[in-house]
Amino acid sequence: MRPVRTALAGALLGTLVLAACGQPGTTATPAPTTQSTGQSTSSQAGAAFPVTVQAANGAVTIGEKPERIVSLSATHTETLFAIGAGPQVIAVDDRSNHPPEAPRTDLSGFKPNVEAIIAQKPDLVVVSDDMDQIVDKLAKLNVPVLFEPSAKTFDEAYDEITDLGAATGNRQKAEEVVSTMRATLDRLAAEAPKDKKLTYYHEIDQTPYAATSTTFMGQVYNLFGLTNIADQAPDAAGGYPKLSTEFIAKADPDLIFLADVKCCGQNKDALARRPGWKNLSAIKNDQVIELDDDIASRWGPRVVDLARTVGDAVTKAASR
């Protein structure tokens, strides 16, 4: 496994450790009910709290609307602000760079410090990784934690957005965000030409690691009927194979998408300098697409922006 370089490395390539027990929260009477579908319910009709959310760490009960939320996930920070919970967020991790007004700190989701988190006096902590067993450590201190790991499908992403909406008292706005995402993705997929059978390569970093069609990013490309060259790699089963430059050159993809632009300075000219790459179809035909590294590594509401970029690239390539 290559060294961690971005949030993507931890969120998508790291080992996700699921907590075995439910997460205790602030108790309230009457006790809330839960559903096995992963959706949350309140104990009284029309009452927002108490609420129980089924997360990766079990049933998390939140007795009152949280007003001091700490997010240790860049994706969930984006979601919290998108669903209207921004005013409730008092601290986010060092990789949460969107939106700009998010209260960024030196807290880390990859090397979480219990004392530093507790110093923020949170009434809810949101994580996408259980590094150093942070979920269990906070549970022992009676701090409610939502563990919502990296999504592998759109439905999982939608469910996590809905969970955050219920947990923060912003259920309706969360449902609106999900509805808009669904409609936008459906529209973009319907508008894109699919008569040409185009192939593509999605580069995570310049080593080069790729993402197959079974990953969350792959789901975006699947909307447009693209064929992923990484699916044929020897170690494709894990979703993130390390490809050789020779493998990519031989596959000669129609489209190359770069998710290592800001981090690693990759672009069409940089690719052309790689051995055997200057005559690749994507380079000669100006079909190298520079993505926003952050958007391409997260599974929150901005996935529609990634899909829009892919759709535009497909339309351009199909018109050649």
Could you give the C-alpha distances from 141 to 58, 115, 138, in angstroms and in order? 17, 11, 5
> pLDDT band at residue 320, thresholds of 50, 70 and 90?
confident
**Chosen domain end from 139, 161, 183:** 183
Each residue's pLDDT tens digit, 48-100: 899 999 999 999 999 999 999 999 999 999 999 999 999 999 999 999 999 99
* CB-CB contact of 242 with 208 (8 Å): yes
Domain count, the chain: 2
**147 lies in the same domain as 253:** no
- Tell me what pLDDT residue 195 has: 84
Token couple for 131: 């590094």
Q: Which of 29, 24, 43, 303 is nearest to 146 (CA)?
A: 24
Please compute the mean of the pLDDT values over residues 107-120 and round it to a whole number: 97
Q: Is residue 1 part of a domain?
A: no
Q: How far apart are CA 26 and CA 34, in angstroms?
A: 16
Q: Which comes out higher in pLDDT, residue 44 or 98?
A: 98
**60 lies in the same domain as 98:** yes
Structure-token match 């008569």, residue found: 195
- Tell me what pLDDT residue 2 has: 36
> pLDDT band at residue 41, thresholds of 50, 70 and 90?
very low
For the chain, the first-to-last Cα distance in angstroms comes to: 38
CATH code, domain carrying 196: 3.40.50.1980
Q: Which of 52, 58, 27, 32 is nearest to 40 (CA)?
A: 52
% of residues, the chain, pLDDT over 70 = 85
> pLDDT band at residue 214, thresholds of 50, 70 and 90?
very high
**93 lies in the same domain as 114:** yes
Structure-token match 């790291």, residue found: 14
Q: How far apart are CA 97 and CA 112, in angstroms?
A: 18
Please compute the mean of the pLDDT values over residues 137-159 and round it to a whole number: 97
User: What is the CB-side half-sphere exposure of residue 108 using CA atoms within 13 A?
Assistant: 8
Please state, rounded to an integer, the average pLDDT across all residues of the chain: 88
**153 lies in the same domain as 33:** yes
Is residue 135 pLDDT above 70, yes or no? yes
Query: How many CB atoms are located within 10 Å of the residue 132 CB?
Result: 15
User: Mean pLDDT lowest for which of 8-17, 120-129, 205-214, 244-253?
Assistant: 8-17
DSSP label at residue 271: H
Q: Exposure string (b/e) for 281-291, b if CB count within 10 Å is 16 or more? A: ebbeeebbbbb
**Chosen domain end from 137, 165, 183:** 183
Please compute the mean of the pLDDT values over residues 125-134 and round it to a whole number: 97
> pLDDT band at residue 3, thresholds of 50, 70 and 90?
very low
Token couple for 1: 């496994």
Token couple for 227: 């064929």
Is residue 23 pLDDT above 90, yes or no? no
210 lies in which domain range?
192-318
**Chosen domain end from 134, 165, 183:** 183
Q: Is residue 162 part of a domain?
A: yes
CA dihedral sign, ordered 79, 84, 161, 189: negative
Q: Is residue 2 part of a domain?
A: no
Structure-token match 């075995």, residue found: 20
Is residue 163 pLDDT above 90, yes or no? yes
Structure-token match 């919502």, residue found: 148
**20 lies in the same domain as 158:** yes
